[in-house]
């Protein structure tokens, strides 16, 4: 599991559920507090493991630079016990997943590798 | 009660034995049989050359007009070559490798100065799978950024580190002989600035221009015609007929000159003259190559060709004559490798030998030997696949016909001593291209060798 388990896919398939959960999810994301420090949800993924490090290596130079900038700014804010001015908070539309798609891709790759490593050959003759 | 499987098993075995008997019957392949040449056809807009000797294995290749001659920026051919069999829209690179392993096939991608070859060798029955795979590689490779940084780049650096003095000298000789186009290095050296030109986007753009139906040929050795016509049509449908950006081509022109490159490890000297182009009617050049020879065909002996005799005086040096044939030009080279002093001595002796041919002609015995050698070079080259496959494809993408083995052999037999003498005289009379790589203090200048540049 590359990222935290999520009900998102199940909810997307059921519009009524999506309508019910959306306000709750938005409230939760804002209440989690990372947006007030200018971070994105994907900045919170723990990077101390091989898979995530490799995925970080696959980011474009611009994305990588921006990520480091956001994290350094958040560290500084944490040190000073401050929040960003409200105008600089991460807006919901800016909070896009830039790392988890790569992690999901890599999970598919490793799953495929495991499947190929353990396959059984059935001879036709 | 007899189970059905047992019955069918017996018939399968019987069929297989029949096939094996047929194989055994073939015995000595007749040289002049039409099977020796590739037959050109067009299947669904794709140029196809095929030859079927009913063997148990097949070699299928896509030959694209995307060699170093046609690359718009340095290094793109090499990048495209390394991207072959990487992940496509349909499957990952890993899956391709594992599936091919399971089928017992071999995948290979390489390039010459004019053609980029993506080749698969496999068991005869697996034709549909590999036809699909090659078409997929050509039309649906994804050219991802991470594969470029994690794999392609590293392989290119590793191959650059392996380039030896001989490869550098040959590239330098081509560069002075043809300047641009054919003069582009076959493999960019580590000191060539390619990083600003080579990235996944430029490779993808080059692929878009290079992999079109007009620009590729499918060459099959050992595949049935019915199989090819059945499978090429559906799988190569996705390959575009033409692309918006076409590759630039300018006719090759021979310049000649001298280039000297200092190098710590290895010494190599290349003496080159304008040679015979692909499909050119110049059998005397092929016979001259056979006469000069160089590579011994006998174990534990340097051989008796002119270059072998030349290197006898210079122990440690090896000399070899080759005619590099391209679509509109050729380059006849004598390459000498070895310790610097030996290379110098061998070069002097080689030029002396060539001059002797130009002035005094050659003995009848040597002529017979040279013709036999050139015939062998031609036939073994076209039979042991490798060169035959590439030549057939290269001829097709340049609008020519595949090599007609029987006719060419006849032409070789028609060469006489006078023709050979005239050919050697023309070579020495024109401008030579000389490239020296290694210890320049010892390696000779072209003028010292008595060559015009």
Mean pLDDT of chain A: 91
pLDDT of residue B34: 45
- The reply to whether A125 falls in a domain is no
Of A58, A116, A121, the CB nearest to B94: A116
**Distance between CA atoms of B353 and B430, rounded to whole angstroms?**
17
Contact by Cβ (8 Å): A16, A22? no
Which residues are B333's β-sheet partners?
Answer: B272, B322
Per-residue pLDDT averaged across B138-145, rounded?
94
- The reply to whether A67 falls in a domain is yes
Q: What is the pLDDT of residues B208-227, one digit of tens each?
A: 999 999 999 999 999 999 99
Per-residue pLDDT averaged across A69-81, rounded?
96
| Residue B185 clears pLDDT 70, i.e. is over it | yes
| Residue B7 clears pLDDT 80, i.e. is over it | no
Q: Looking at the 3D structure of chain A, how many domains does it have?
A: 1
Per-residue pLDDT averaged across B59-71, rounded?
94
Residues of chain B by 3-state class (helix, strand, coil), percent to 5? 50, 15, 35
Q: What is the pLDDT of residues B223-264, one digit of tens each?
A: 999 999 999 999 999 999 988 777 778 889 999 999 999 999
Q: How confident is the model at residue B27 (pLDDT cuts 50, 70, 90)?
A: very low
HSE-up (13 A, CA, CB side) for residue B302: 19
Per-residue pLDDT averaged across B379-388, rounded?
66
**How big is the CA angle at B113 (ends B107 and B115), to the nearest 5 degrees?**
50
A5-19, A36-50, A102-116, range with the lowest pLDDT: A5-19
Give the sign of the dihedral formed by CA B267, CA B271, CA B274, CA B276: negative
A57/B146 touch (CB, cutoff 8 Å), yes or no? yes
pLDDT of residue B30: 43
Query: Residue A87 is part of which domain span?
Result: 8-110
| Residue B346 clears pLDDT 80, i.e. is over it | yes
Per-residue pLDDT averaged across B305-313, rounded?
89
- The reply to whether A12 falls in a domain is yes
- The reply to whether A93 falls in a domain is yes
Q: What is the pLDDT of residues B153-183, one digit of tens each?
A: 999 999 999 999 999 999 999 999 999 999 9
Q: How confident is the model at residue B414 (pLDDT cuts 50, 70, 90)?
A: confident
pLDDT of residue B33: 46
pLDDT of residue B38: 85
Contact by Cβ (8 Å): B47, B216? yes
Q: Which residues of B touch A (CB under 8 A)?
A: 12, 92, 94-95, 98, 102, 145-146, 149-150
Helix intervals (H) in B275-339: 283-292, 306-312
pLDDT of residue B39: 87
- The reply to whether A56 falls in a domain is yes
- The reply to whether A121 falls in a domain is no
| Residue B437 clears pLDDT 70, i.e. is over it | yes
Residues of chain A found within 8 Å of residue B10, distances taken between Cβ atoms: none
Residue A14 CB burial class (10 angstroms; 0-12, 13-18, ≥19): exposed
| Residue B373 clears pLDDT 50, i.e. is over it | yes
Q: How confident is the model at residue B393 (pLDDT cuts 50, 70, 90)?
A: confident
Residue of A109, A111, A122 to mutate when probing chain B, most B C-beta within 10 A: A109
| Residue B400 clears pLDDT 80, i.e. is over it | no
- The reply to whether A105 falls in a domain is yes
DSSP string covering A62-117: HHHHHHHHHHHHHHHHHHHT----GGGSPPGGG---SSHHHHHHHHHHHHHHHHHH
Taken in order of first residue, the domains within chain B and their CATH numbers are 39-238 (3.30.830.10), 257-449 (3.30.830.10)
- ipTM of model: 0.82
Mean pLDDT of chain B: 88
Whether the model pTM is above 0.90: no
| Residue B24 clears pLDDT 80, i.e. is over it | no
Residues of chain A found within 8 Å of residue B94, distances taken between Cβ atoms: 109, 112-113, 116
B85-89, B195-199, B243-247, B374-378, range with the lowest pLDDT: B243-247
Helix intervals (H) in B384-416: 387-397, 405-413
A89-103, B125-139, B368-382, range with the lowest pLDDT: B368-382
Q: Give backbone dihedrals phi and psi of B309, rounded to 5 degrees, phi first.
A: -65, -35
- The reply to whether A86 falls in a domain is yes
Phi/psi-derived region of residue B386, left when phi > 0, alpha when psi is between -120 and 50, beta in every other case: left
- Interface residue A113 vs chain B (CB under 8 A): yes
Residues of chain B found within 8 Å of residue A118, distances taken between Cβ atoms: none
- Interface residue A121 vs chain B (CB under 8 A): yes
Contact by Cβ (8 Å): B399, B225? no
Q: How confident is the model at residue B406 (pLDDT cuts 50, 70, 90)?
A: confident
| Residue B14 clears pLDDT 80, i.e. is over it | no
Which CATH number covers residue A69?
1.10.1090.10
**Distance between CA atoms of A59 and B337, rounded to whole angstroms?**
46
Angle between helices B283-292 and B417-429 (to 10 degrees): 90
Rounded CA Rg of chain A: 19
Residues of chain A found within 8 Å of residue B146, distances taken between Cβ atoms: 57-58
A116/B149 touch (CB, cutoff 8 Å), yes or no? no
Of B12, B98, B149, the CB nearest to A116: B98
| Residue B287 clears pLDDT 50, i.e. is over it | yes
Higher pLDDT, B192 or B18: B192
Per-residue CA distances from B231 to B46, B221, B236, B237 (Å): 12, 15, 8, 10
Of B94, B102, B146, the CB nearest to A58: B146
Residues of chain B found within 8 Å of residue A57, distances taken between Cβ atoms: 146, 149-150
**Distance between CA atoms of B199 and B111, rounded to whole angstroms?**
19
3 state SS of B8: helix
Residues of chain B found within 8 Å of residue A112, distances taken between Cβ atoms: 92, 94-95
pLDDT of residue B343: 96
For A60, the closest chain B residue by CA position comes to B145
pLDDT of residue B1: 44
How many angstroms separate the CA of residue B146 from the nearest CA in chain A? Answer: 6
């Amino acid at each position: 599991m590359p990222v935290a388990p999520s009900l998102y896919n199940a909810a997307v398939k059921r519009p009524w559920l999506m309508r019910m959960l959306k306000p709750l999810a938005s409230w939760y994301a804002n209440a989690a507090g990372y947006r007030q420090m200018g971070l994105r949800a994907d900045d919170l993924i723990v990077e101390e493991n091989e898979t995530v490090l490799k995925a970080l290596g696959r980011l474009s130079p611009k994305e990588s630079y921006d990520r480091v900038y956001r994290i350094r700014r958040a560290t500084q804010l944490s040190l000073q016990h401050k929040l960003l001015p409200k105008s600089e908070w991460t807006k919901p539309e800016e909070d896009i997943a830039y790392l988890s798609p790569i992690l999901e891709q890599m999970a598919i790759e490793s799953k495929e590798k495991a499947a190929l490593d353990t396959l059984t050959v059935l001879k036709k003759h | 009660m007899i189970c059905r499987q047992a019955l069918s098993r017996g018939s399968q075995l019987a069929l297989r034995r029949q096939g094996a008997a047929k194989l055994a019957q073939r015995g000595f392949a007749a040289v002049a049989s039409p099977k020796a040449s590739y037959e050109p056809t067009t299947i669904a807009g794709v140029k196809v050359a095929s030859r079927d000797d009913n063997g148990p294995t097949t070699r299928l290749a896509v030959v694209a007009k995307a060699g170093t001659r046609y690359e718009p920026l340095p290094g793109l051919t090499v990048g495209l070559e390394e991207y072959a069999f990487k992940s496509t829209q349909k499957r990952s690179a890993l899956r391709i490798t594992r599936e091919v392993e399971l089928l017992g096939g071999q995948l290979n991608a390489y390039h010459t100065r004019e053609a980029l070859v993506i080749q698969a060798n496999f068991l005869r029955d697996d034709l549909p799978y590999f036809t699909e795979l090659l078409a997929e590689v050509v039309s649906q490779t994804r050219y991802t950024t991470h594969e470029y940084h994690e794999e392609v780049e590293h392989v290119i650096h590793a191959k650059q580190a392996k380039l030896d003095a001989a490869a550098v000298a040959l590239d330098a000789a081509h560069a002075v002989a043809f300047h641009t186009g054919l003069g582009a290095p076959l493999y960019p050296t580590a000191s060539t600035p390619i990083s600003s030109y080579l990235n996944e986007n430029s490779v993808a753009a080059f692929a878009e221009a290079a992999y079109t139906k007009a620009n590729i040929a499918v060459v099959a050795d050992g595949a049935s015609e019915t199989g090819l016509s059945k499978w090429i049509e559906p799988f190569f449908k996705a390959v575009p007929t033409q692309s918006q950006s076409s590759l630039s081509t300018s006719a090759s022109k021979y310049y000649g000159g001298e280039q000297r490159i200092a190098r710590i490890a290895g010494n190599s000297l290349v003496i080159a003259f304008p040679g015979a182009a692909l499909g050119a009617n110049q059998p005397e050049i092929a016979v001259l190559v056979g006469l000069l020879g160089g590579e011994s065909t006998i174990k534990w002996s340097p051989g008796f060709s002119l270059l072998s005799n030349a290197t006898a005086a210079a122990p440690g040096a090896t000399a070899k004559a080759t005619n590099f044939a391209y679509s509109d030009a050729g380059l006849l080279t004598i390459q000498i490798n070895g310790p610097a002093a030996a290379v110098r001595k061998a070069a002097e002796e080689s030029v002396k030998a060539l001059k002797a041919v130009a002035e005094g002609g050659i003995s009848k015995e040597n002529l017979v030997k040279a013709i036999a050698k050139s015939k062998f070079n031609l036939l073994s080259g076209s039979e042991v696949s490798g060169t035959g496959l590439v030549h057939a494809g290269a001829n097709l993408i340049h609008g020519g016909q595949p090599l007609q083995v029987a006719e060419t052999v006849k032409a070789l037999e028609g060469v006489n001593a006078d023709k050979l003498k005239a050919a050697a005289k023309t070579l020495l009379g024109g401008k030579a291209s000389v490239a020296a790589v290694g210890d320049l203090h010892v390696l000779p200048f072209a003028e010292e060798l008595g060559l015009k540049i």
